């Protein structure tokens, strides 16, 4: 529709008055509507009303004849130009928004309606011009606010959701999608029940229903999440009523927080606490925690059993109740020391008086007890009941005291016995020598004059005296192991063996055609040289004595270092051997396995060997099979010379 604006004949005075009144009324209506009016013809202003001038800040003379696009923001001129071109083609007014620039340079937003018309017989455009700057600013602020909160919702780790009254999602952020494993399309319109257990869904329904009835939010609702892939987790949500503009509750909105890790940590902590609580309840030692005043705040059953009180009786009980009065200060000082130095005490002796009045003893540890902020709130420790041990120690001490008395008496008796043996042996040697000597002289002087029985009796007498002499010599050797011992020193066993081969054992080696082998240099030992000499003489002599008929005896000697302080010596022979049942007996005094007619000797030699070895802190033994020889072994302290490493 095209509006024609034409000039009319000049009115009369009355008509002019009516026209002026009509124009004033029209201007008043236009002004009150806040609309600026303009006419543009061939792109230039032909008419602008007063309000348009006020809006743009230009006077009428500054606008008429100027290009209308000059008032349009450069970025919007293309839009306005196109609308102006389209206007003649439209049959209805065209409405659009754009930015105009006031004379002051300020930018204003304009809502404009334009339509085609004729002005003074030519096509023109008439437009209405409304300032909508405030509305656009409000819209922009609202858009920015919505964008800001939308950004917050999308970027925050917590889930945000909105749902209708039936529990179906109407809006949510990406965090909820990630948390549940569903896409936006899958989650939109879905019910909250799809990702909860049946039990949790009922609990959440009750919470939502309570929010609906009371209008009050529900916070801290925990539930187990069942994700799309079947995995589970835990979430904590807070639900609020969602209202319409009229204030009516139309649904719910809320925030969900993933607490899976917290739940797992809580469960791990619970299991840990349960595990350690089980340990504390099952251990024999008592465990306790007390406040700064020394009153129990926690303890295990073992401590109850130790003191004889029930749990109810002990809870809150002060240490003074079961501590003897004379020990209270000592215990207090120990706890005070821990508090001041922040260092624990271990093995603190603590006497106690049980509920039944009996006394007990404990060894306790004391250390500080702190809260999560690191503040000292008390003490804790472990208490071990050592009452029985203390009693045993007292009994042992009494027994040791008695044993020391007995040992002193035994030592005195042994000394007296050794003195007696030595003196008796020494005093018996002289008459026995005389018996042997005079018996032999008498036998020689009566040679040829004695009958067979008389001659045999002389031989028995002389042989008995000789054997008695040998036995007394061996007894003297046995007693001298303790009474005549010399200080220990390093002994070269290689020299000992060479001396024996040249002197004491030379005749026996020659008679038996025996040999002594030393495959490797022997280690040195520490001991009395004369006794070490006697030890090797007895053991090697045994090997040369108990040989198999027709087989020359062979003795092999080896040494081994068995630790830093001891040496093991082995003397191996190829003789008749020893049955296993006699391994221990052969080291007993006067124990003989063979008759004197076959093998001479008193049966004391191995007993002397054992006494020498034991005196030096070693052990002695034998390994053998009958008919396959024997290996006598013993251990002695390792010897070293000055300058050895």
Question: Residue 310 and residue 262: Cα distance in Å, rounded?
Answer: 36
Residue 4: pLDDT over 50 = no
Task: Write down the number of H helices and E strands in the chain.
Answer: 18, 23
Confidence (pLDDT) at 206: 92
DSSP codes joined into one string, 497-537: HHHHHHTTTHHHHHHHT-EEE-SSPPPPEEE-HHHHHHHHH
Q: Report the interhelical angle of 529-545 vs 605-615 (nearest 10°).
A: 140
Give CA–CA dist 563/637, Å, rounded. 10
Same domain as 326, residue 187: no
Task: Tell whether 397 is covered by a domain.
Answer: no
State the Cα–Cα distance between residues 151 and 160, nearest whole angstrom: 12
Give the residue carrying structure tokens 């040369």. Answer: 544
CB burial of 563-585 (b: ≥16 within 10 Å; e: otherwise) equals: eeebbbbebbbbbbbbeeeeeee
278 in a domain, yes or no? no
331 & 366 share domain: yes
Q: Are residues 447 and 363 both part of a single domain?
A: no
What would the two tokens of residue 287 be? 């465990």
- Which residues constitute the domain of residue 339? 285-385
Residue 139 in any domain: the answer is: no
- Going 379 to 385 to 390 to 393, the CA torsion angle's sign is negative
The CATH number of the domain holding residue 526 is 3.30.565.10
Q: In this predicted structure, what is the pLDDT of residue 87?
A: 67
Q: Are residues 165 and 216 both part of a single domain?
A: yes
Q: Looking at the structure, do residues 513 and 613 belong to the same domain, yes or no?
A: yes
Residue 310 counted as domain residue: yes
Q: How far apart are CA 58 and CA 52, in angstroms?
A: 8
User: Residue 136: what are its φ and ψ, rounded to 5°?
Assistant: -65, -40
Half-sphere exposure in the Cβ direction for 386 (13 Å, CA):
16
Residue 62: pLDDT over 60: yes
Same structural domain, 353 and 434 = no
Looking at the structure of the chain, the number of domains it has is: 5
Determine if residue 204 is left, alpha or beta; phi over 0 gives left, psi from -120 to 50 gives alpha, anything else beta: alpha
Mean pLDDT over each residue of the chain, to the nearest integer: 83
138 has pLDDT over 50:
yes
CA dist 537 and 507 (Å) reads 13
User: Do 629 and 507 belong together in one domain?
Assistant: yes
CATH number for the domain spanning 170: value is 3.30.450.20
- Model confidence band, residue 444 (pLDDT cutoffs 50, 70, 90): confident
Based on the fold, state whether residues 66 and 180 are members of the same structural domain: no
pLDDT in tens, 180-216: 899 989 999 999 998 899 999 999 999 999 999 999 9
Q: Write the secondary structure of 425-472 as one string of H (helix), E (strand) and C (coil).
A: HHHHHHHHHHHHHHHHHHHHHCCCCCCHHHHHHHHHHHHHHHHHHHHH
Judge whether 474 lies within some domain: no
Are residues 605 and 495 part of one domain? yes
* Average pLDDT estimate for 210-236: 89
**E strand or H helix at 331, and its extent?**
helix 328-341
* 216 inside domain: yes
Burial class (CB in 10 A: 0-12, 13-18, 19+), 302: buried
Does the residue 450 lie in any domain?
yes
Residues 594 and 523 in one domain: yes
Q: What pTM was estimated for this model as a whole?
A: 0.37
- Residue 621 contacts by C-beta under 8 Å, 6 or more apart in sequence? 583, 632, 633, 634
Instruction: Return the sign of the alpha-carbon dihedral for residues 109, 111, 117, 123.
Output: positive
Q: Are residues 632 and 497 in the same domain?
A: yes
Q: Is residue 48 a part of any domain in this protein?
A: yes
Instruction: Identify the pLDDT of residue 600.
Output: 55
Return the bridge partners of 286, or none: 383
> Following DSSP, what letter does each residue of 485-498 receive, concatenated?
----EEE-HHHHHH
Cβ neighbours of residue 319 closer than 8 Å, sequence gap 6 or more: 290, 294, 295, 328, 331
Q: Does one domain contain both 182 and 216?
A: yes
Q: Quote the tokens at residue 53.
A: 């001038």
């Amino acid at each position: 529709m095209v509006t024609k604006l034409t000039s009319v004949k000049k009115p009369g005075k009355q008509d002019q008055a009516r026209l002026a009144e009509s124009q004033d009324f029209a201007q008043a209506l236009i002004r009150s509507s806040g609309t600026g009016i303009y006419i543009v013809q061939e792109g230039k202003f032909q008419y602008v009303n007063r309000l348009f001038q006020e809006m743009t800040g230009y006077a009428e003379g500054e606008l008429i004849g100027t290009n209308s696009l000059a008032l349009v923001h450069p970025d919007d001129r293309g839009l306005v130009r196109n609308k102006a071109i389209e206007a003649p083609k439209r049959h209805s007014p065209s409405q659009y928004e754009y930015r105009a620039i006031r004379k002051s340079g300020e930018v204003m937003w304009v809502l404009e309606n334009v339509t085609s018309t004729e002005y003074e017989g030519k096509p023109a455009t008439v437009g209405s011009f409304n300032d909508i700057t405030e509305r656009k600013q409000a819209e922009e602020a609202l858009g920015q606010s919505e964008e800001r909160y939308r950004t917050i919702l999308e970027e925050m780790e917590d889930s945000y959701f909105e749902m209708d009254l039936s529990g179906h999602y109407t809006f949510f952020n990406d965090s909820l999608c990630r948390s549940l494993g569903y896409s936006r399309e899958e989650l939109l319109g879905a019910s909250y029940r799809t990702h909860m257990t049946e039990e949790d869904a009922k609990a959440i329904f009750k919470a939502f229903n309570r929010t609906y009835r009371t209008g009050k939010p529900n916070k801290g609702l925990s539930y187990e999440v069942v994700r799309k892939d079947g995995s589970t987790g835990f979430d904590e949500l807070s639900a609020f009523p969602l209202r319409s503009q009229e204030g009516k509750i139309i649904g719910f909105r809320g925030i969900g927080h993933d607490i899976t890790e917290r739940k797992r940590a809580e469960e791990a902590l619970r299991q840990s606490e349960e595990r350690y609580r089980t340990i504390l309840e099952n251990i024999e030692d008592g465990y306790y925690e007390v406040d700064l005043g020394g009153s129990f705040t926690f303890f295990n059953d073992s401590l109850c059993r130790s003191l004889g009180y029930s749990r109810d009786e002990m809870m809150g009980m002060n240490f003074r109740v079961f501590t003897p009065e004379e020990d209270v200060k000592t215990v207090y000082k120990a706890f005070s020391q821990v508090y001041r130095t922040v260092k624990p005490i271990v093995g603190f002796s603590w006497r106690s008086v049980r509920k039944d009045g009996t006394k007990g003893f404990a060894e306790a540890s004391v250390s500080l007890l702190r809260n999560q902020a690191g503040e000292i709130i008390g003490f804790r420790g472990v208490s071990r009941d050592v009452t029985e041990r203390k009693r045993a120690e007292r009994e042992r001490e009494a027994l040791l005291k008695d044993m020391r008395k007995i040992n002193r008496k035994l030592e005195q008796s042994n000394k007296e016995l050794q003195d007696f043996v030595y003196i008796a042996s020494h005093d018996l040697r002289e008459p026995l020598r005389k018996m042997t000597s005079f018996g032999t002289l008498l036998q020689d002087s009566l040679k040829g004059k004695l009958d067979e029985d008389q001659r045999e009796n002389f031989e028995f007498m002389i042989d008995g005296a000789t054997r008695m002499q040998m036995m007394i010599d061996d007894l003297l050797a046995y007693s001298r192991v303790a009474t005549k011992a010399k200080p220990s020193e390093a002994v070269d066993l290689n020299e000992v063996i060479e001396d024996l081969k040249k002197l004491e054992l030379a005749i026996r080696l020659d008679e038996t055609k025996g040999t002594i082998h030393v495959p490797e240099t022997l280690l040195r030992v520490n001991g009395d040289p004369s006794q070490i000499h006697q030890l090797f003489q007895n053991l090697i002599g045994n090997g040369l004595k108990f040989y198999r008929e027709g087989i020359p005896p062979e003795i092999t000697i080896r040494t081994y270092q068995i630790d830093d302080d001891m040496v093991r010596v082995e003397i191996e022979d190829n003789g008749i051997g020893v049955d296993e049942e006699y391994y221990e007996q052969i080291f007993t005094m006067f124990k003989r396995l063979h008759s004197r007619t076959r093998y001479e000797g008193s049966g004391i030699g191995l007993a002397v060997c054992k006494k020498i070895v034991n005196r030096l802190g070693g052990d002695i033994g034998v390994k053998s099979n009958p008919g396959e020889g024997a290996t006598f072994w013993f251990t002695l302290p390792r010897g070293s010379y000055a300058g050895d490493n």
